[in-house]
Amino acid sequence: MVRRPTSRPGFTPGAAVSGTRLRDLGRVPGASASFRRRFENILDEVGRLDNIRIDDLVIVRDKPPVFDDLGDFIGNIVKPNDLTEILGSVITRPDLPTTNQLDFVTTSLMDQLRKNLPDALPKVPIKTGKKGADLPVTTKGLTQLLQLAAVRICEDQASVIWDDGINQLVVHASQIQATLTDGLVRVDIKVEADKLRATMQIPFAVGSEERLTGLVMATTDRPAGNPVVAQVWGEALIALTHGALISASESLAGASGRDVQNQRLIPRALTARRGSLVVESQARFVFKEDLR
């Protein structure tokens, strides 16, 4: 597929190059090394050429266009460590608020990513229903985001006591840990009760590179770990960890850009592989209630 060149200093798409040596085109500002080599090869074969239209030349881009032909965003590829390294520095900032730390952290994270990789995130609003940036995090990065999300769900408490009127359980929201393998996110959460300390494990089957599932995920009917805790508190633990995973994904996607309605982007898919999770973002669809 031939992509038309965008305007650059020294280029006028569609203009003829009458009376100009082809060699001079390779010296214009912004010409890449591969661009120059292409001209040198042509010069070796045909010598001096006049009246060549630049649009007739196949030019290889050094960088992809911002949006593809379908309107989906494609910028610089973000690596899992790119986000996780920034995340580590943001979480230790002295101005970290005492409440709702998750959104503060993801917003600061995206702001810094824009500085480090200017073309990694959309600079203009994303059209309705179109794809935004892919946001990959390592196991460590996901663990940190899940901890912030779980603490927010627990009303900004690092540990909470659940009481059903008969049983009590201490849940350590700030000690959640994530493990990532192909198509699987396993969340471990520490709990305590009278003379009992346990780590409960909740697996979530999400998308993989071979099996795309969007935001659809599945889990077991109860967590692995202490059977009594699983029987009494299993559904609540699954709800907490699932909510933390969705909340972390929503906050990350929302901080990455806006749509044409000035709404935050939302996650459209989770893809897990060993050691990393990719959150794909997109603009919301518009639904009309009276549409027939």
Span 103-141, pLDDT tens digits: 999 999 999 999 999 999 999 999 999 999 999 999 999
pLDDT band (50, 70, 90) for residue 1: very low
| Domain identity same for 34 and 112 | no
89 has a pLDDT exceeding 60: yes
In a domain, 141, yes or no: yes
**Residue 54 DSSP code:** G
| Domain identity same for 58 and 84 | no
- Give, for 124, the enclosing helix (H) or strand (E): none
In a domain, 26, yes or no: yes
In a domain, 87, yes or no: yes
In the prediction, which pLDDT does 56 show? 47
- Give, for 199, the enclosing helix (H) or strand (E): strand 196-205
- Per-residue pLDDT, averaged over 52-66, amounts to 52
- The answer to whether the CB of 242 falls within 8 A of the CB of 215 is no
In the prediction, which pLDDT does 19 show? 39
Domain boundary residue among 29, 62, 95? Answer: 62
In the prediction, which pLDDT does 14 show? 41
In a domain, 70, yes or no: no
Report, in angstroms and rounded to the nearest whole number, the Rg of the chain calculated over CA atoms.
26
| Domain identity same for 221 and 128 | yes
Q: How are strands ordered across the β-sheet holding 159-163?
A: 159-163, 168-181, 184-193, 196-205
| Domain identity same for 111 and 213 | yes
Q: Write the burial class of residue 9 (CB in 10 Å: 0-12 exposed, 13-18 middle, 19+ buried).
A: exposed
Compare 28 and 267 and report the one with higher pLDDT.
267
- How many independent structural domains does the chain possess? 2
86 has a pLDDT exceeding 60: yes
In the prediction, which pLDDT does 254 show? 98
Dihedral of CA 247/250/254/259: which sign?
A: negative
Listed range (31-45, 87-101, 172-186, 255-269) with the worst mean pLDDT: 31-45
| Domain identity same for 119 and 224 | yes
Range of the domain at 15: 1-62
53 has a pLDDT exceeding 90: no
In a domain, 71, yes or no: no
In the prediction, which pLDDT does 10 show? 41
| Domain identity same for 23 and 99 | no
- The answer to whether the CB of 109 falls within 8 A of the CB of 255 is yes
| Domain identity same for 32 and 119 | no
In a domain, 125, yes or no: yes
In a domain, 75, yes or no: no
In a domain, 73, yes or no: no
| Domain identity same for 131 and 259 | yes
In the prediction, which pLDDT does 27 show? 57
In the prediction, which pLDDT does 61 show? 45
In the prediction, which pLDDT does 168 show? 95
58 has a pLDDT exceeding 70: no
In the prediction, which pLDDT does 69 show? 84
| Domain identity same for 152 and 210 | yes
256 has a pLDDT exceeding 60: yes
CA of 82: how far to CAs of 39, 233, 235, in Å? Answer: 36, 37, 35
| Domain identity same for 215 and 88 | yes
Listed range (11-20, 136-145, 193-202, 281-290) with the worst mean pLDDT: 11-20
94 has a pLDDT exceeding 50: yes
| Domain identity same for 208 and 260 | yes
| Domain identity same for 42 and 138 | no
